[in-house]
Amino acid sequence: MLLSVPAREVRRLLELADPQHLDERADGLPESALSALMALVPCDVVTYNVHDAVQRTTITHRESSFGLDGNAEPEADVDLFWAAYWSVSCSYPDRSGDYWSVLRHSDEVGSPAGRHGREMMQEYLRQCGMRHEVMVPLPPDDHLQRRVLLWRHDGPDFSEHEVLLLSLVRPHVVAIQDALDRRRSLEPDLTPRQRQLLGLVASGLTNRQIARRIGVSEHTVRKHIENIFGRLQVNSRTAAVARAFPSGEWAAPAAS
């Protein structure tokens, strides 16, 4: 079947491959990528989720929405979600190893005995204030499942055309995820305190000024910097900042 994609939607597809998405420091896919998906396929909420299905735990939840608080947790029974998980489309990638098929909640890809599970998941969606859902699965991170979900409060279900659009854009989303994973793997493993102190170094403060800012002795600051040099395998403040913050982005948290 030949898919006709209007020029406006092609431009939105290309937006997802823009390197600017990699400029954002985010836990998971950046806000700009989620917003671009929302522009491509109109919906009420787009979420990026990472969860451990064995431990029945959500590791990461990022949300982009119109008129909703992105930090708000849904008023829903999470136990209901996990009780239904293995018998509905949510677990299809886990069960099949198929991480490229874009699926709607209404697609019949659950387990053979999944009718009760579908009813429980439908109730969970109702509690979340949602009626329709489409899932864009991403390659897992070891045992952690990663996916993008588009949601609608009401109205029509996601169409075949929209599912095909999301299938076309999925490789771009995977490329962004892969690039972010590579960048994070290269970032040095500093403690929050060391990262805070190095942010103050990057802002141009002297050891004495840093000591006053974080409420420790100047000697302690020197020892911290020596430890940072050792961990980063550098011998200057400039090299330490460049190694710790390769993208040039840093933040100095307030003293605890």
- C-alpha 204/C-alpha 199 separation (Å) is 9
Q: How far is CA 75 from CA 42, 46, 190, 241, in A?
A: 23, 17, 36, 43
66 vs 171, higher pLDDT? 171
Residue pair 58/22 in contact by the 8 Å Cβ criterion: no
pLDDT at 19: 66
In a domain, 2, yes or no: no
Mean pLDDT of 231-238: 86
Residue 2 gets which letter from DSSP?
A: P
In tens, the pLDDT along 49-90 reads: 999 998 899 888 888 865 444 444 455 788 889 988 988 888
Query: pLDDT band at 23, cuts 50/70/90?
Result: low
**Percent of the chain scoring above 90 in pLDDT:** 33
Do you know the residue count of the chain?
256
pLDDT over 80 at 110, yes or no: no
In tens, the pLDDT along 92-103 reads: 999 999 999 999
Q: Do 84 and 177 lie in a common domain?
A: yes
pLDDT at 162: 94
pLDDT at 69: 43
Point out the least confidently predicted range of 67-71, 175-179, 232-236.
Answer: 67-71
In a domain, 118, yes or no: yes
Q: Do 51 and 102 lie in a common domain?
A: yes
pLDDT at 73: 47
pLDDT at 176: 87
In a domain, 207, yes or no: yes
Please identify, among 171, 186, 201, the residue that sits at the C-terminal boundary of a domain.
Answer: 186
Q: Do 140 and 13 lie in a common domain?
A: yes
What is the rounded radius of gyration, in angstroms, for the C-alpha atoms of the chain?
22
In a domain, 252, yes or no: no
Q: Do 108 and 226 lie in a common domain?
A: no
CA atoms within a 13 Å half-sphere pointing along the CA-CB vector of 228: 26
In tens, the pLDDT along 181-225 reads: 877 766 667 787 888 888 899 888 999 999 988 888 999 999 999
Q: Residue 214's domain is classified under what CATH number?
A: 1.10.10.10
Q: For residue 239, what are the domain limits?
A: 192-244
In a domain, 67, yes or no: yes
Q: Do 37 and 145 lie in a common domain?
A: yes
Q: Do 112 and 64 lie in a common domain?
A: yes
Q: Do 91 and 202 lie in a common domain?
A: no
Q: Do 206 and 89 lie in a common domain?
A: no
Q: Do 136 and 223 lie in a common domain?
A: no
pLDDT over 70 at 240, yes or no: yes
Our count of domains for the chain comes to 2
In a domain, 40, yes or no: yes
Query: pLDDT band at 24, cuts 50/70/90?
Result: low
In a domain, 250, yes or no: no
Q: Do 215 and 129 lie in a common domain?
A: no
In a domain, 249, yes or no: no
pLDDT over 50 at 113, yes or no: yes
Q: Residue 53's domain is classified under what CATH number?
A: 3.30.450.40
Q: Do 147 and 92 lie in a common domain?
A: yes
**Percent of the chain scoring above 70 in pLDDT:** 81
Please identify, among 186, 212, 232, the residue that sits at the C-terminal boundary of a domain.
Answer: 186
Q: Do 142 and 60 lie in a common domain?
A: yes
255 vs 129, higher pLDDT? 129
188 vs 256, higher pLDDT? 188
Mean pLDDT of 239-254: 67
Please identify, among 137, 170, 186, the residue that sits at the C-terminal boundary of a domain.
Answer: 186
